[in-house]
A = this chain, B = another copy of it.
Amino acid sequence: MKVFISGFGTVGQGTMETILVKSMDIQRITGDQVQIVGVTDSKSYAVKADGVCSFSVLGSKNMSGKVGPDMKDGKSTVDIMKMVEFDTLIEASPTDVETGGEGLKNIRWALENGKNVITVNKGPLALEFRELMDLAKKNGCMIRFEGSVGGAMPIINLCNDALAGQKIKSIQGIFNGTCNFILSRMDGGLPFDQALKEAQQLGYAETDPTNDIEGYDSASKVVILANSVFGMDAKFKDVNVTGITAITSEAIALARENGMVIRLIGEVSKGKLEVSPRLIPKGHPLSISGSLNTALINTDLAGPITVSGRGAGRKETASAILSDLVAIMLAQKN
């Protein structure tokens, strides 16, 4: 299995490390080896048809801030992908929910050319889900995206495999660890601005936190769940979104007096695609504190299933990519 990695930030680097560290395990489970034959970031690239150069590629990123000795100089990632034979694209470039960005172009090209795709880039999935699934089907390749929702928390493959045959009636969840961290700190008495500043200092929130605190990141995940688990044809604009910026210390205190907390909940159910702050009773599965993600899945047979895990992080997101990679390798073995 020859792999091309697009995007070499935290997730791309973590994925490469994970593939290298887990190479023996992958071979034991799938009977096949993984070679990383190409990597790009926004500025530079490295390709090597026989893979395994990966260690030095990784090293050069650490030394010079670029993935390889070769600068893109106007070439796109698609141009680079054309330079090398590979089987599976791992798309980990930055999410752009306005246009889908280069990630959407990369995924389209890969599927059109019969390559499997594993993406944690939410933009293309939130914008053009149905088109991408149809493209994969038409070209006989697979597209998987466990890491796009909930990071290390298993949710998409859990619903579609472990709960196969059941009707998923609704999913409600905490899909943004940054917001949950901020709200948890506000539970402890901090005002919003200070809680946000703390999240930024700890690296949970970005310098421009809009995407998280306005609920856009959670909304992308709601769209992906609606399409992949509920078979809807939803787009980002279909989600009713309210973020957490208007939540005051007074509101939090009032909730607390009534045995409740405020949490930013994403929900997919019949006729409802929503991200909004909600009052949750303490002790309820969705009342958790800290930066974990959690989801409450309501099914017709199993009843309620709750799952939680780390919603982001280098190794954590790589773990979701690894499970998708193993699933593709096992499917192609048959």
Q: Which residues of A does B touch, CB under 8 Å?
A: 18, 22, 25-26, 29, 146, 152-154, 157-158, 161-167, 285, 299-310, 313, 315-316, 318-320, 322-323, 325-327, 331, 334
Taking a contact as CB atoms under 8 Å apart, the answer to whether B301 and A319 are in contact is: yes
Whether A157 touches B166, Cβ cut-off 8 Å, given contacts A152-B301, A301-B319, A316-B302, is: no
Taking a contact as CB atoms under 8 Å apart, the answer to whether B305 and A307 are in contact is: yes
Q: How many angstroms between the C-alpha atoms of A308 and B161 in the bound complex? A: 17
Residues of chain B with a CB closer than 8 A to A163's CB = 154, 319, 323
Q: How many angstroms between the C-alpha atoms of A236 and B319 in the bound complex? A: 32
Residues of chain B with a CB closer than 8 A to A302's CB = 152-153, 309-310, 315-316, 319-320
22 residue pairs A–B, Cβ–Cβ below 8 Å: A26-B165, A29-B164, A152-B305, A154-B162, A157-B161, A158-B158, A164-B322, A164-B327, A165-B319, A165-B323, A299-B319, A301-B316, A302-B310, A302-B315, A303-B310, A303-B313, A303-B316, A305-B307, A306-B307, A307-B307, A307-B308, A334-B334
Taking a contact as CB atoms under 8 Å apart, the answer to whether A166 and B306 are in contact is: no
Chain B CB count within 10 A is highest, among A166, A301, A309, A318, for: A301
User: Residue on B with the closest CB to A164?
Assistant: B326
Residues of chain B with a CB closer than 8 A to A162's CB = 146, 154, 157-158, 161-162, 323
Residues of chain B with a CB closer than 8 A to A22's CB = 165
Residues of chain B with a CB closer than 8 A to A322's CB = 164-166, 301
Q: How many angstroms between the C-alpha atoms of A309 and B305 in the bound complex? A: 5
Residues of chain B with a CB closer than 8 A to A29's CB = 164-165
* Cβ contact of A306, chosen from B309, B316, B331, cutoff 8 A: B309
Residues of chain B with a CB closer than 8 A to A323's CB = 161-166
* Cβ contact of A166, chosen from B166, B301, B313, B319, cutoff 8 A: B319
Residues of chain B with a CB closer than 8 A to A331's CB = 334
* Cβ contact of A18, chosen from B158, B301, B315, cutoff 8 A: B301
